[in-house]
Amino acid sequence: AIVSPEHRYYGKSSPFESHSTENLRYLSSKQALFDLAVFRQYYQESLNRKLNRSNVENPWFVFGGSYAGALSAWFRLKFPHLTCGSLASSGVVLAVYNFTDFDLQVGISAGSECKAILQEITQLVEERLKSNEKELKSAFDAAELKIDGDFLYLLADAGAIAFQYGNPDKLCSPLVEAKKAGQDLVDAYASYVKDYYLGTFGVKVETYNQEHLKDAAAGETSSDRLWWFQVCSEVAYFQVAPANDSIRSSKIDTKYHLDLCKNVFGDVVYPEVEATNLYYGGSKIAGSKIVFANGSQDPWRHASKQTSSPGMPSYLISCHNCGHCSDLSGCPQAPSNPGGDSSKCSNPDAVNKVRQQITEHMDLWLSECRDASRGWSSV
């Protein structure tokens, strides 16, 4: 059986009608892990009652991708007696204050030609922001973003997402063609942002609007505010521009992120990155029977565990369009259409090989669970 519980506060699982900063005090990864532990016990007991049995423990295996991948690894770390093992697909277990490696990886994944064009676009955008802000933002259907940093963050994310989710050709091919044809690069980038990032990919401009993030009304559409609260209070992942050779605007710096946190949540919230890494271990997590899998082009892999050990094997999937959670979702992918396919990866054998390795570890660890207690049975 596959069971997928909902994270506290998200979706329909909010304990409050308002997501005010005060009411978000119970939103954290630690609380989510305890929720999962309690739910696991509740589900097991319910299953035993349904089957008219007692003192039976089924073998459990936890898995997830991205933040959920980190939760999966952390659950195995903190509650090893409740799960036989964990899959952390693109599991971002390392909280990072200034995450400059994110932008640097985008540059590596883009390649020299596409990277240079993206840097030129950033320079042109910054110049036009000074001379004709209204027209520029309207060209990207982003006139509602009054804060320049929010607008520049939208543009940075739009570019990064092509590599994060394994669609580099969607971005680089039209930009290279526009450059060779002498076309306006900002217009070419605006077309990509509107057609792909806001269109096919399904991102809403309001996601970047700090006024939207201030909306404390609880509901199924409040995930943007909730995630930013976790960013601002616990893990940071501030995707700031590197000092040298940056693709994103230098205006996306530490101050921008801290100002956003203060503007949206007030002075009481600050990312306790050191405390988070001390509690979980960061990329030196000391758990066991955890598989980490990452895409070679995924900027988030620098917040994951990439060094392998006997108790915690790590795999890096190397192929042209292998990105975030490729071992789970295949290629290409998007939140609005997560059903990727390994056959669409440039190197499907690489994805399938890692999937086979993951399956072998799962089978081994589940069998060890069964051997450890003869009272266990399959769900």
Kindly list the catalytic residues. Answer: 66, 298, 324
The CA R_g of the chain, rounded to the nearest whole Å, is 22
Sign for the pseudo-dihedral over CA of 334, 338, 340, 345: positive
For residues 129 and 192, the answer to whether their CB atoms sit within 8 Å is: no
Within 10 A of 359 (CB to CB), how many other CB atoms are there?
Answer: 12
Strand, coil or helix: what is 18? strand
| Contacts of 222 by beta carbon, 8 Å cutoff, 6+ apart | 14, 19, 215
Copy the structure tokens of residue 245.
Answer: 């050779």
| Contacts of 196 by beta carbon, 8 Å cutoff, 6+ apart | 158, 162, 167, 170, 171
> From start to end of 261-356, where are the E strands?
290-295, 314-317
Measured CA to CA, the distance from residue 83 to residue 90 in angstroms comes to 20
H/E element, 15 = none
Looking at the DSSP bridge assignments, the partners of residue 295 are: 317
Measured CA to CA, the distance from residue 314 to residue 88 in angstroms comes to 9
Strand, coil or helix: what is 63? strand
Measured CA to CA, the distance from residue 97 to residue 81 in angstroms comes to 32
Measured CA to CA, the distance from residue 308 to residue 321 in angstroms comes to 23
* Cα dist from 371 to 111, 159, 246, 358, 368, whole Å: 49, 49, 53, 20, 5
Per the document, the length of the chain is 379
